[in-house]
Structure 1
Amino acid sequence: MSIKQVIESIELLSAANVDGAAVASLLRSRGLDDVTVTRVEENGLYTDFLACTVPGQNPDAPALGVVGRLGGVGARPAVTGLVSDADGAIVAVASALKLADMAATGDVLAGPVRIHTHICPHAATRPHHPVPMMKSPFAMRTMMSHEVHPRMAAILSVDTTRGNRFVNRRGVALTPVAKEGWLLRLPERMLDLMGWVSGELPMVLPLTTQDITPYENGLWHVNSIMQPAIVTPAPVVGVALTAQTTVPGCATGVTNAFDIDVATRFCIEVAKQFGQGQCDFYDAVEWAELQRRYGSLAHLQTVGTEA
């Protein structure tokens, strides 16, 4: 169980004065040495980008990336408290804490895990149908330059996804795999792992092509869960925290520790098997055949042709 680490993360990120330094201090106190905080400021606003690496037994093994996606953990001064949108950061911090605690008691994963997110307790909101969402203080591509690392061989992108009507059930859903403009099928092993950690049939969040294009093209997106895919050739799977009803990203009192625990345990189980070479994100033979038959779709990682 990771519920202890989830509750720790919720309590820490709920504070109005939380920043990247406070989170980094907690991670270092649990034995993680490779922790960095980068503050980015613009027009009087700032956010702290947090990055840490949990080492594996084989430092040369492909690294799994866990990206906690969000606009902000708070929308102060407009609202008071931890917002619904904070789930990505909570899962990222809780995953780092749990992996650190496992390593301290002898369970070191085969390969490294790189965990990135950002800490912003005063983000704005933006209009979005059917409910408003959180808005980061910075352009999405700027954020991705801090949240996606070139050494991430595959990425789990965790994001609150309650502001839509596509998965009308509370829990955790997975997206198809996004890679260089392509949407690929979810591996059976990932569906197995989600079923095992949740004890329920796995849910899949449907995506459209425009959901894996950059935010700066101005088109509608389900949310930012797939934005890591615009800056990397690595395969990306979204881990979406969902609800039966539509919930604004800026709503408070929404955070559900039990759903976040499921998402955290899923990330950890994928990390265990990915480092051992037992959880590929895509079929390399099928990928090569898709490229041969239909060519590259990497132009979907760009803004495309502007008017």
Structure 2
Amino acid sequence: MIDLLSSAYVTGEDVAAHLRSLGECRVEVTRLERDGACTDFLAIEIPGLDAQAPRLGIVGRLGGIGARPAVSGLVSDSDGAVVALAAAAKMLGMAQRGDAMPGAVHIHTHICPRAGTRPHHPVPMMRSPFPMREMMAHEVSPRMDAILSVDTTRGNRLVNHRGVALTPVAKEGWLLPIPDLLLDVMSWVSGELPVTLPLTTQDITPYENGLPHVNSIMQPAIATPAPVVGVALTAQATVPGCATGVTNAWDADVAMRFCIETAKLFGQRTLSFVNEEHWEQLQARYGSLAHLQGVGRELA
């Protein structure tokens, strides 16, 4: 998948054709082009054995796979798409060998080889080709019962560790505990103790409010009532999202296997992202925080 995406000419249709050649799946490509910006959104459905099973969503979150013409090559920011699409390809191969997913899995991302960059502290980041709310309309589906949002998260000083980190669960404005089983799965696939990415309330609010965010990893949480967990590709040093030569195949493989193992457990109803009893208590005691999914009050 890294090789396929390492091209100035790759399109969503190219990726869709590759996935269709690997097995039975539904792939929709939606091209969005406006004011000189362009990207191809991919919506992939991997069939499951049980049509009634809960459906996991995997969102490959990124600004773009390339920042041409400013730089040539696959940028650090591409990891969200790399991992999500590699997971799709691997699950299709598993199904061909008799190991189909227990429940359907929905994988959404976008292919943009010519995205822009924007200033950000401590290092520059990639810029989404279209406003974030518009991006989320394509990347988040109401058919996703829970979501793993995979994103490069190297441009910060919060996680000084190279590998993969998990965020707390975000749901309707709340930050909730990471399920123990998700931490176990990360330990199993990485062979290491699990690492977590700290979040603030600002990080789960929309980009439109203009406040600082660690990055866009939690933006799917503004567009759905489903619980969202971020799967962050991290580094010991701060690395710009527009840097090339950064994508690490080992780390991407760990993230991909984590997504697949989570999809198995979620489809089997063995894993829940939210403790429903605790969720009901929070709602009864403190009320809804869903207003944090919107832009809030207009400032004078």
State the shift of 1:33 in Å: 3.2
Structure 1 residue 277 and structure 2 residue 269: aligned?
A: yes
Name 2:93's counterpart in structure 1.
101
Residues in 2 aligned to 1:306 and 1:297: alpha-carbon distance in whole angstroms = 18
Question: Among the aligned pairs, what percent are the same residue?
Answer: 71
Structure 1 residue 216 and structure 2 residue 203: aligned?
A: no
State the shift of 1:136 in Å: 1.1
8 Å contact 1:63–1:151 — kept in the other structure?
yes
Q: Which amino acid aligns with 2:234?
A: T
State which of 185, 194, 207 in structure 2 corresponds to 1:193.
185
State the shift of 1:61 in Å: 1.4
Residues in 2 aligned to 1:65 and 1:190: alpha-carbon distance in whole angstroms = 15
Name 1:44's counterpart in structure 2.
36
Name 1:144's counterpart in structure 2.
136
**Higher mean Cα deviation, 55-64 or 73-82?**
55-64
TM-score (normalizing by structure 2)? 0.99
Q: Which amino acid aligns with 2:264?
A: K
Q: Which amino acid aligns with 2:209?
A: N
Alignment deviations for residues 90-128 of structure 1 (CA, whole Å, 9 cap, x no partner): 001100000000000000111000000000000000000
- SS of the counterpart of 1:76? coil
State which of 163, 166, 181 in structure 2 corresponds to 1:171.
163
State which of 125, 132, 152 in structure 2 corresponds to 1:133.
125
Name 1:63's counterpart in structure 2.
55
State the shift of 1:60 in Å: 2.1
- SS of the counterpart of 1:109? coil
8 Å contact 1:32–1:53 — kept in the other structure?
no
Q: Which amino acid aligns with 2:289?
A: L
Residues in 1 aligned to 2:257 and 2:162: alpha-carbon distance in whole angstroms = 17
State which of 79, 102, 108 in structure 2 corresponds to 1:110.
102
Residues in 2 aligned to 1:168 and 1:82: alpha-carbon distance in whole angstroms = 23
8 Å contact 2:25–2:92 — kept in the other structure?
no
Counterparts of residues 249-288 of structure 1 (less than 5 Å) = 249-288=241-280
Name 1:123's counterpart in structure 2.
115
Structure 1 residue 244 and structure 2 residue 236: aligned?
A: yes
Alignment deviations for residues 110-158 of structure 1 (CA, whole Å, 9 cap, x no partner): 1000000000000000000000000011000000000000010000000
Alignment deviations for residues 202-240 of structure 1 (CA, whole Å, 9 cap, x no partner): 000000000000000000000000000001000000000
Residues in 1 aligned to 2:193 and 2:25: alpha-carbon distance in whole angstroms = 38
Name 1:5's counterpart in structure 2.
none
**Which structure 1 segments of 5+ residues have no match?**
1-8
Name 1:87's counterpart in structure 2.
79
Structure 1 residue 34 and structure 2 residue 31: aligned?
A: no
Residues in 2 aligned to 1:94 and 1:237: alpha-carbon distance in whole angstroms = 19
8 Å contact 1:140–1:215 — kept in the other structure?
yes
- SS of the counterpart of 2:145? strand
Q: Which amino acid aligns with 1:135?
A: R
Off by >4 Å, runs of 4+ in structure 1: none
Alignment deviations for residues 241-295 of structure 1 (CA, whole Å, 9 cap, x no partner): 0000000000000010000000000000000000000110010000000000000
Residues in 2 aligned to 1:148 and 1:163: alpha-carbon distance in whole angstroms = 24
- SS of the counterpart of 2:151? strand
Name 1:161's counterpart in structure 2.
153
Residues in 2 aligned to 1:174 and 1:71: alpha-carbon distance in whole angstroms = 20
**Which structure 2 segments of 5+ residues have no match?**
none
Alignment deviations for residues 67-96 of structure 1 (CA, whole Å, 9 cap, x no partner): 000000000000000000000000011000
TM-score (normalizing by structure 1)? 0.97
Residues in 2 aligned to 1:35 and 1:53: alpha-carbon distance in whole angstroms = 7
- SS of the counterpart of 2:255? helix
